[in-house]
Amino acid sequence: MAQQRPLRILHCFRSPVGGIFRHVRDLVEEHSTAGHEIGILCDSSTGGEHEDRLFDDIRPFLSLGLTRIPIRRSVALSDIGVIWETYKKIKSLRPDVLHGHGAKGGVLARLVGSALRVNRYRVARLYTAHGGSLHYSRSSLTGQFVLRMERLQEYFTDALVFICEYERDTYAQKVGRPRPLTRLIYNGIGERDFQIIPTRSDAVHFIYVGMLRDLKGPDLFVDAFAKTERLIGRPLSALMIGDGPDREKYRDMMVERGLGKRIGMLPPMRVQEAFAMAQNLVVPSRAEAMPYIILEGLGAGKTVIASRVGGIPEVLGRSSPALVAPDNADDLARVMADALTTPGWHNAVMPSIDSVKSVFSSSVMARDVLKLYHTLAEGSSASETYEASVNLS
């Protein structure tokens, strides 16, 4: 990678939390180490102390700096000011590549990139959805608007990057067969993430790690935990680790069900610290693209129980007994009970660490993304068809 000319790469996304932030951090580190100049532009109103520590980790790799401006989640008139401020900042950084992540990041990167190109400044405009707008239904008015906007923005896009087959196929079904160049490039984790993390002597039976919002299913976790206790016939213990807009709602839910002393709540922390607190990781999401927590859990040698949504079956195996019906606490409780009571369940059900590493590696991800950057920055044609790009992926 280092033999090709250095690129100036800017990543745009809204909230510096969760999978998108993890994805960008890995790309930043890999590409900076390979000799490229990297910057980040994201929201200033989200994230906390945990995210600040993560930013501190990657600051040495951000030669183009970290720019944080207020970016609202929903569309608003204030977006006009945000776009103007973003345009001025990005223009001053003179990037070769603008890579938007998530719906809002995709809008900013593609609009600003297109404005720069109108002014005869060549910049590659890429978009990775990371689920985002693809979670909307075509049957709702909001969904129709969002998905039509995705279609419209293809005219301002040089390449679409899909992080799993599910995301690629969902885009084709909901938005339409992509017009720009497309690539399927799986999320990946680094070498340091493929290390067994033993559980502490005071470990609980189950952990939930992630955003505390309904889309991620913390309420299903609480409900299934109670049902698992009844199936097994004894009290259990669990932790919910994370933060989000519905945190107090889940706390109240646990208290009302008499679970307040058996399910604890902790703030966000480094995932390695969280994994030391239990062997069994539960990911009860109602919708996902390709969640990093699945890859991180498998890399750490954890038993991962997850909803059959998004790209999760592509990691665990499409017929894996660890997959549960989405939005179904009864099915989740059944598998949670199996994991605790069936001897050898982990070894029989979980994919090997080596098999995960061979496909979901950050070095492979970064290499393929950088190859696409160079293809676009060097002016190669972006007129390949959807089928051809799938075959090349």
Average pLDDT, the chain: 92
pTM (two decimals)? 0.86
Q: Would you report the helix, strand and coil content of the chain in percent, each value rounded to 5?
A: 50, 15, 35
Per-residue pLDDT at 75: 63
Q: How far apart are CA 170 and CA 289, in angstroms?
A: 10
Which residues lie closer than 8 Å to 221 by C-beta, 6 or more apart? 206, 208, 238, 240, 282, 284, 332
Q: What is the pLDDT of residue 82?
A: 78
Predicted local distance difference test score (pLDDT) of residue 131: 86
Q: Which of 4-18, 68-82, 94-108, 243-257 has the lowest mean pLDDT?
A: 68-82
Per-residue CA distances from 170 to 135, 178, 192, 300 (Å): 9, 11, 32, 30
What is the Cα–Cα distance from 361 to 104, expressed in whole angstroms? 27
pLDDT tens digits for range 72-115: 776 666 677 778 888 999 999 999 999 999 999 999 999 999 99
What is the reported pLDDT for 83?
83
pLDDT tens profile 31-63 = 999 999 999 999 998 888 989 999 999 999 999
The answer to whether 194 and 275 have CB atoms below 8 angstroms apart is no
- Confirm if 178 and 160 have CB atoms less than 8 A apart: yes
Residues 247 and 265 sit within 8 Å (Cβ to Cβ): yes
Task: Give the CA dihedral 15, 192, 206, 284, nearest 10 degrees.
Answer: 40
Burial class of residue 117 in the structure, from the number of CB atoms within 10 Å of its CB (0-12 exposed, 13-18 middle, 19+ buried): middle
pLDDT in tens, 285-342: 999 989 999 999 999 999 999 999 999 999 999 999 999 999 999 999 999 999 999 9
Question: What is residue 134's DSSP assignment?
Answer: G
- The H helix count followed by the E strand count for the chain is 16, 13
- What is the SS3 assignment for 62? coil
Domains by residue range for the chain, with CATH: 8-188+361-378 (3.40.50.2000), 192-356 (3.40.50.2000)
CA–CA dist 250, 272 (Å, integer): 24
Residue type present at position 250: Y
- Report how far residue 98's alpha carbon sits from residue 158's, in angstroms, rounded to the nearest whole number: 10
**Residue 171: how many other CB atoms lie within 10 Å:** 21
Residue whose token pair is 């900042």: 89
Using an 8 Å Cβ cutoff, are 185 and 163 in contact? yes
Residue 385: which pLDDT band, with cuts at 50, 70 and 90? very low
Nearest to 302 by CA among 199, 171, 159: 199
Contacts of 10 (CB under 8 A, 6+ apart): 38, 39, 40, 41, 64, 90, 93, 95, 97, 98, 99, 109
Give me the pLDDT at residue 129, please: 94
If you ran DSSP here, which 8-state letter would residue 9 be given? E
pLDDT digits (tens, 9 = 90+) for 353-379: 999 999 999 999 999 999 999 999 987
- Calculate mean pLDDT across residues 154-177: 96
